[in-house]
Amino acid sequence: MMRHGQPAEVRMVPIDQIDVINPRERNSRVFEEIVSNIKAIGLKKPIVVTPRATADGGERYLLVCGEGRLKAFRALGETTIPALVDIVSDEDAFIMSLTENIARRLCRPLELLAGIRDLQERGYAPRAIAEKTGLTMHYVQGILTLLRQGEERLVVAVETGQVPLRTALSIVGAGDSDEAIQAALQEAYESGKLRGRQLMDARRIVERRKALGRGAGRNMPRKVAEVTTSSLVRTYQREVARQKAMVKKAEFTQQRLLFVVGALRQLFSDENFVNLLRAEGLATLPKYLAERVWSSGSLA
């Protein structure tokens, strides 16, 4: 790797002199695996840093790549770490760190989207963002459109594969019209972009968007909400109320069905009424009702 005509070199760099310019959250299980691997076999690949002079004439480093490895070394009590020291500008260092996280696609969806937004805010056009991250320009333009509309909930659904980007954009274009939103989902289903469980997931996301808002319910990057006893009790009470409402609706529907079945039995016991239906070609019922009205499943 070469920057400004100077070759990069590997050094043992003091960990306490390294500043992370693009921090991201990491799954605890994945982090424990990194620590275990480094403890067992050592560091297979050095981190990448770029040096910066301090006001007092000292030297510090900006981390370009390898936050997980750096944290693992710190957790193991190490004071230095092998690092590839590269000479790059602050802008290049941030972009290199950001695009590596995006290119790996191991970061959480909100972090990925925050990265794309950061690149745009730094003045990069969609084409430049696509070139730096390896994403398609169509994808980047669509994501930026959703982000401008504040559609974090939809944009996370796109990144996790729950809703196609085109469908998400159609939902946004539909505004507050439930009919237009359902039409967008129907079009995605008919075109084969949403099938089976995926369609159900998309409908749930649309319902949550309507009930809870367009935001993802947290700032980017994601922070873990504090769980308290009172919040657990409120969540339990809401779930109990939802289940009770569902049971009540089911009982009401069952009563309606029993009423309809009873009424049909009474009507079809009238021979004149049955003859009239036969003459009009209407002496049949849907299978679901026929099996309940007649024991044989059909009109004798």
Q: Specify whether the CB–CB gap between 172 and 149 falls below 8 A.
A: yes
Cα(40)–Cα(34) distance, rounded to whole angstroms? Answer: 10
Which tens digits make up the pLDDT trace of 84-118? 898 888 777 777 777 666 655 445 555 666 777 77
Topology, domain 2-95: 3.90.1530
Bridge partner residues of 19 (DSSP): 62
Q: Which letter, b or e, does each residue of 129-139 get, where b requires 16 or more Cβ atoms within 10 Å of its Cβ? A: bbebbebeeeb
User: What value, to the nearest 5°, has the Cα angle with vertex 215 and ends 212 and 220?
Assistant: 140
Q: For residue 14, give the DSSP letter.
A: E
The pLDDT of residue 219 is 44
The pLDDT of residue 3 is 47
User: Rg for the chain (alpha carbons), in Å?
Assistant: 30
Q: Specify whether the CB–CB gap between 85 and 9 falls below 8 A.
A: yes
Which tens digits make up the pLDDT trace of 33-71? 888 888 888 888 888 898 988 888 888 998 888 888 898
Domain locations in the chain as residue ranges: 2-95, 108-212, 229-293
Question: pTM for the complete prediction?
Answer: 0.45
Q: For residue 134, give the DSSP letter.
A: -
The tens place of each residue's pLDDT in the chain, 300 residues long, gives: 444 445 568 889 999 999 887 776 666 777 788 888 888 888 888 888 989 888 888 889 988 888 888 989 999 999 999 998 988 887 777 777 776 666 554 455 556 667 777 788 878 888 888 877 777 888 888 888 888 888 888 878 887 778 888 888 888 888 878 888 888 888 877 787 777 777 888 888 888 888 877 776 544 444 434 556 666 677 777 788 888 888 888 888 888 888 888 888 888 888 888 888 888 877 777 777 777 777 665 555
